[in-house]
Amino acid sequence: MSNITTIGIDLAKEVFAVCAMDTTGAVVYHKTLKREAFVMWAEQLESSYTIVMEACGSAHHWGRWFAARGHTAKLIAAEFVQPFRKSMGAKNDKNDAEAIAIASRQPTMRYVSIKSIAQQEALVWHRLREGYKEERTAHLNRIRSLLGEFGIWPPRSADKLLRLLPTFIQNIQLPPGLRTAIEQTLQYLSELHRQIAQCDQQIALHVKSHPEAQRLTAMTGIGTLTASATSAMVVDAKHYQNGRQFAAWLGLVPRQMSSGGKTKLGRTTRRGDAYLRSLLVQGAKSTLQVALRQTTDKASRLQQWIVQMYARVGYHKTLVAIANKHARMMWAILAKNEDYDVYAWQR
């Protein structure tokens, strides 16, 4: 094993595929191991190797695990591994592990930064909060459809429905079973709201304990959720060369279909983390409304640009443009370790 330099690993819950390559790129061996055997094999590696994995579930854990044992751990986005699979019609763990190892040997390959335990701990509250929100929406839709079976059509607004549900309990014309179901629904929703509030509390504490997240909240349209999520997801902003590359990582740039020297731009790529991108777009909505309400003599340079953009391309494209602009500004704040300054353009 002395001539082995690169080991590609296809991660899974129970079965792990391993492909080891030497300095020339030749495959030295393949292994398919269960979890316990995989851990034993990894602990018995004789020297330090370059361990490469896809950026998938548990990849950050294994990246930290191998780095703690003296190896160089790297993560590759799945979309960059796919072109190196030998056959598109023969996707299996063995071929995936080999494709990962081959992809890592490309000199221009881009890697995913490994998150720390603290970052993933902060993300836990964001993921739980989104799950509670989905359960809340699903339950409201379910009770709304059940009420429709009895000729009651409440408004689509979730807030209005929540205000109306207690009144249905007092309606003696409704069957007792339906009234009991509404009572259970209110109890369940109350518990969900309590859990969401607890998540908000933990996220707020995360922002207070991280100065870089606090600096982000000084921007219009960047609240506690966005600042906390950005701080937890971005390992090092200097990993991106500029703000445009950071915005591209978030999927806020148009697709390119250029050829023959002609630039052709398409729809927004929408790559990267959908949660953080959605937070930026939501923040862009409030920023747009503030800019439209601001008088011309008091509008900042950014607000003037937003109003001009809105008049030229419309509502939805303006939101994406604002989110893109916010992403670039966030990169500058994080990469240069500076506070937000609305008048920085004047210098």
> What is the DSSP secondary structure assignment for residue 81, as one 8-state letter?
H
Pairwise CA distance, residues 78 & 112, whole Å: 10
What average pLDDT does the segment 205-217 reach?
Answer: 95
Instruction: Please write the tens of the pLDDT for every residue from 283-316.
Output: 999 999 999 999 988 888 899 999 999 999 999 9
> Among 120-124, 291-295, 296-300, 333-337, which stretch is predicted with the lowest mean pLDDT?
296-300
- Give the residue extent of every domain in the chain: 4-104, 117-208, 211-346
% of the chain residues with pLDDT over 70: 99
Cα dihedral: 220, 225, 226, 232 (round 10): 140
Q: Is the pLDDT at 343 greater than 80, yes or no?
A: no
177, 201, 283, 285 from 224: Cα distances, Å: 42, 10, 11, 16
What average pLDDT does the segment 89-114 reach?
Answer: 93
Tell me how crowded residue 198 is: count the other CB atoms within 10 A of its CB. 14
Q: Any long-range contacts for 79-83 (C-beta under 8 Å, 24+ apart)?
A: 80/109, 80/110, 81/54
pLDDT for the residue 87: 79
Instruction: Please write the tens of the pLDDT for every residue from 221-276.
Output: 999 999 999 999 999 999 999 999 999 999 999 998 888 888 888 889 898 899 99
Strand ordering across the sheet containing 72-76 = 27-34, 15-22, 4-10, 50-54, 72-76
Instruction: Please write the tens of the pLDDT for every residue from 135-184.
Output: 999 999 999 999 999 888 888 899 999 999 998 888 878 899 999 999 99
Contact 60, 120 (CB under 8 A): yes
pTM of structure? 0.89
Q: Closest by alpha carbon to 279, among 332, 322, 222?
A: 222
- The CATH superfamily of 4-104 is YqgF/RNase H-like domain (3.30.420.140)
β-pairing, 27-34 with 15-22? antiparallel
Q: What angle do CA 262, 264, 270 make, to 5 degrees?
A: 150
Contact 207, 213 (CB under 8 A): yes
- H helices present in the chain, as ranges: 35-43, 59-67, 78-81, 93-104, 117-148, 158-169, 176-208, 211-216, 224-233, 243-249, 274-293, 301-313, 315-335
Q: Closest by alpha carbon to 130, among 323, 233, 234, 275?
A: 275
For 119-144, b/e burial (b = at least 16 CB within 10 A) is beebbebbeebeebeeebeeebeebb
148, 171, 209, 301 from 153: Cα distances, Å: 5, 15, 46, 47
Contact 81, 107 (CB under 8 A): no
